[in-house]
Chains A and B, each alone.
Chain A
């Protein structure tokens, strides 16, 4: 392991971290703009041209706010909560392949921080860890509403993780690998997994909505019942971290969906483009395509949020346990049957 390898990885990590923060920042802006356009309004347009500086203004406002720590809260956990939420949101980006390898001179630089052979399990684990930030924050606040919200978040995540895992198993039967890099390579051109697993994708996207606490599954933040949810007691940048982590989560799960089901950086006609643009520009075009897919998913997240009302809690549990899990198991069985039949003939 030479020193240039370490530098290369550090640069890559820094770039990915920066990009995910900027995207999360502008997701807050995009959310307000999309909401406005869907409701025949204009949205923020005062700070800078088209309101482009609005996230900066919001961030500045968050920094300037008074920091309040409730007297009877668990001080240490109260501090740890938002940090943990941010951390678990960010580390998911490590295994996502952002593009095919760039060749500069005789050096091949893969656009992926690490290609571990259990990438899929890693993603799955990190997404599950995301609930700890919410749990710890809600518990440490020493507030009934926060605690209720934390419990809701935890039970919601547990319920939907099961069906998410089951829908991934069906995908695994198609791909035969857990390495995200190999999964993406298999989807070369237009052989996207969504064409082989449309139903699995539907289950996966529903579970993603639930795992990221987005509408219509945003019960932990249900204002009418729980004031602000788990971040009721938070103020200043700690609150900012929680809100930010939600958007990073959305970015990561959009990236995961684009990678697993929508071919990652693959697109029809990519061989021709790679041949004509060279070893640096070609892979970067693939990366741009991946980001276009991610943005499309983020837009879909927002579009759904401003369309569908929130579920009731019993409906949420009913959907999770009595509908999605049987469907996911049925999906596994059918996938297995089809694979067996295809291999036989």
Chain B
């Protein structure tokens, strides 16, 4: 058959030369390659003790932020839940009472805020949707667990630690 392209290449298998047949030169070459790796720095990171530095646009576990006075920023508008493609976020809104003024910044707040970490795909759309700069995916890797219910993170795990009182 006429070749359709000009890429046809005839492969000629040459008989092995003497040094190739006695196998030892190739063997010493291989040994020298492996021994050079013996002295190279290993690529392993001892994970739980040593953690690799994450890239600057790394997205990890969510945290609900507080403002400069230590009040929760979230106003339970629901935009994060709406934007979430995995439907991982649910929340229940509540009205702020007068005595809770230094706990919540807005008059409406989230009394329950849950993220299902098994559903979450860490896309960061909640972070982008939030008008109050209340949620950021700046945490560590979400740890593993045994039960599905333990992956639904509530406010106890998500809200940032309160600021130090002056």
Q: Which residues of A contact B (CB under 8 A)?
A: 34, 36-42, 45, 303-304, 306-308
Closest beta carbon of chain B to A264's beta carbon, Å: 25
CB-based contact B30/A40 at 8 Å: no
CB-based contact A40/B34 at 8 Å: no
CB-based contact B38/A38 at 8 Å: yes
CB-based contact A36/B42 at 8 Å: yes
* Residues of A contacting B144 in the complex (Cβ-Cβ under 8 angstroms): none
Task: Choose from A37, A38, A40, A308 the contact partner of B27 (Cβ within 8 Å).
Answer: A308
**Chain B: how many interface residues by the 8 Å CB criterion?**
14
**Mask of B105-147 contacts with A, CB within 8 angstroms, 1/0:** 0000000000000000000000000000000000000000000
* Residues of B contacting A40 in the complex (Cβ-Cβ under 8 angstroms): 37, 40-44
Leading 5 A-B pairs by shortest Cβ distance:
A42-B44, A307-B34, A307-B30, A38-B34, A37-B38
Known contacts A40-B43, A42-B46; is A307 also within 8 Å of B31 by CB? yes
Q: Does B35 contact A (CB under 8 A)?
A: yes
Chain B residue with the shortest CB-CB distance to A319 = B23
Known contacts A37-B37, A38-B37; is A303 also within 8 Å of B46 by CB? no
CB-based contact B31/A41 at 8 Å: no
From residue 19 to 40 of chain B, which have CB atoms closer than 8 A to chain A?
A: 27, 30-31, 33-35, 37-38, 40
CB-based contact A42/B34 at 8 Å: no
CB-based contact B46/A41 at 8 Å: no
* A41, B42: Cα distance in complex, Å: 5
Chain B residue with the shortest CB-CB distance to A46 = B46
Chain B residue with the shortest CB-CB distance to A304 = B31
Chain B residue with the shortest CB-CB distance to A216 = B27
